[in-house]
């Protein structure tokens, strides 16, 4: 999952390591010893090295004290800072070290369908984390790059994240969840999957078919309900979606059912009549959550639609289907940051068990895992 994006992030790590690579030269004394075949005792060599390092550090500190202009600014390392770092066996990462790698990272993110403002936020965060940071010359920058990427990615992916199961547990029953999105993205199947996910955690649910617009919608959701052994509330085609979901709530209250899962017709945010239906559902039913469903493979289109639906109908979170088929990862990276509302679940296959609670930290770790 998201293998293409993972490869691109790995490429950024390699770019930075190459750009900050320092060619170490052997000290003249070491070369002379090597040529003459002399052997230096480890303890003596260590002591001499420590004394040399102390002397060099003292020298650059005296230079800085004599020349206050060498102190530099907050954004740019001073000559003294660079000299001190070098004298103590370290280097400082500067803007020129990151310029090309960051450009390559930006192109890689955009090619992976990451939304522009999200890519810019990631770049700014990585730049801020790494500029002026020092590392030992004998170490790679891999850990520093990974830490900067980790923090930048988590910051954008985890926006608005909340404990979905905790909210279900604490809410007054029945909990009503309404699903919305465009046609053909797996909305009805996601409802069935979530019903099974809830059942695995001890919560009962009833399905309510508020998609009274589409021919065959009742048959589709009834097939899922029958397979799962769930009750289904439905009306004839052309009925009032708000009335169907309201009936689902009343059924749940009368039968001690924990959660009502309400389907709605697929729509575009520009479909005035269908958007008015959502507004009526909000007024009549007052759902506890409205979840937006789209395909992860839709990439930038999914990000744009999530924003448009949130602007039109105030979603509480998103489910991305077909995540297992998505190499780019742009939607998973971008949706939460763009809408301010979290991704809650990923659909990862065709079975009813193929739905995964979204964990930003876990996703970022998998993207940065080199194995």
299 labeled part of a ligand binding site: no
321 labeled part of a ligand binding site: yes
216 labeled part of a ligand binding site: no
Do the beta carbons of residue 305 and residue 269 sit within 8 Å?
A: yes
Quick check: helix, strand or coil at residue 124? Answer: helix
136 labeled part of a ligand binding site: no
166 labeled part of a ligand binding site: no
Q: Exposed/middle/buried for 96, CB within 10 Å: 0-12, 13-18, 19+?
A: exposed
Residues 6 or more apart whose Cβ sits within 8 Å of residue 137:
22, 24, 89, 90, 91
Distance CA 65, CA 60 (A): 9
Do the beta carbons of residue 111 and residue 160 sit within 8 Å?
A: no
Distance CA 60, CA 56 (A): 6
273 labeled part of a ligand binding site: no
Do the beta carbons of residue 39 and residue 45 sit within 8 Å?
A: no
185 labeled part of a ligand binding site: yes
How many Cα atoms within 13 Å fall on the side-chain side of residue 235?
18
11 labeled part of a ligand binding site: no
Q: State the residue for tokens 């679940």.
A: 345
155 labeled part of a ligand binding site: no
322 labeled part of a ligand binding site: yes
290 labeled part of a ligand binding site: no
264 labeled part of a ligand binding site: yes
Do the beta carbons of residue 210 and residue 281 sit within 8 Å?
A: yes
Do the beta carbons of residue 213 and residue 263 sit within 8 Å?
A: no
Residues 6 or more apart whose Cβ sits within 8 Å of residue 120:
106
210 labeled part of a ligand binding site: no
Sign of CA dihedral 217, 219, 225, 227: negative
DSSP string, 300-330: HHHHHHHHHHHHHH--SEEEEE-GGG-SS-H
Distance CA 92, CA 95 (A): 10
Which residues sit opposite 184 in a β-bridge? none
Binding residues for GTP: 181-188, 263-267, 321-324
Per the annotation, binding residues are 181-188, 263-267, 321-324
């Amino acid at each position: 999952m998201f293998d293409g994006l993972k490869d691109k992030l790995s490429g950024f790590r390699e770019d930075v390591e190459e750009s900050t690579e320092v060619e170490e030269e052997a000290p003249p004394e070491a070369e002379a010893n090597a040529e003459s075949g002399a052997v230096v005792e480890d303890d003596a060599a260590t002591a001499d090295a420590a004394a040399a390092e102390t002397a060099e550090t003292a020298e650059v500190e005296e230079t800085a004290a004599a020349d206050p202009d060498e102190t530099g600014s907050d954004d740019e390392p001073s000559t003294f800072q660079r000299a001190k770092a070098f004298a103590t066996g370290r280097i400082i990462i500067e803007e020129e070290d990151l310029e090309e790698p960051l450009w390559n990272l930006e192109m890689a993110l955009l090619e992976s369908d990451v939304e522009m403002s999200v890519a810019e936020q990631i770049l700014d965060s990585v730049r801020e984390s790494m500029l002026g940071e020092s590392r030992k010359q004998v170490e790679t920058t891999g850990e520093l790059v990974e830490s900067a990427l980790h923090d930048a990615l988590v910051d954008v992916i985890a926006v608005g994240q909340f404990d979905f199961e905790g909210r279900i547990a604490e809410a007054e029953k029945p909990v009503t969840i309404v699903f919305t999105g465009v046609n053909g993205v797996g909305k009805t199947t996601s409802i069935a999957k979530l019903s099974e996910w809830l059942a695995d955690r001890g919560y009962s649910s009833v399905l309510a078919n508020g998609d009274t617009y589409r021919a065959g919608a009742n048959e589709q959701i009834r097939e899922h309900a029958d397979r799962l052994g769930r009750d289904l509330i439905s009306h004839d085609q052309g009925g009032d979606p708000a009335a169907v979901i309201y009936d689902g709530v009343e059924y749940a209250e009368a039968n001690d059912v924990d959660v009502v899962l309400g389907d709605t017709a697929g729509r575009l945010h520009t479909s005035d009549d269908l958007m008015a239906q959502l507004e009526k559902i909000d007024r009549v039913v007052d759902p506890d959550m409205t979840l937006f469903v789209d395909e992860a493979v839709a990439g930038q289109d999914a990000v744009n639609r999530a924003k448009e639906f949130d602007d039109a109908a105030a979603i509480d979170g998103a489910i991305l289907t077909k995540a297992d088929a998505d190499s780019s990862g742009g939607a998973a990276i971008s949706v939460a940051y763009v809408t301010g509302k979290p991704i809650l679940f990923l659909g990862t296959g065709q079975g009813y068990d193929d739905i995964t609670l979204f964990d930003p930290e876990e996703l970022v770790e998998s993207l940065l895992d080199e194995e």
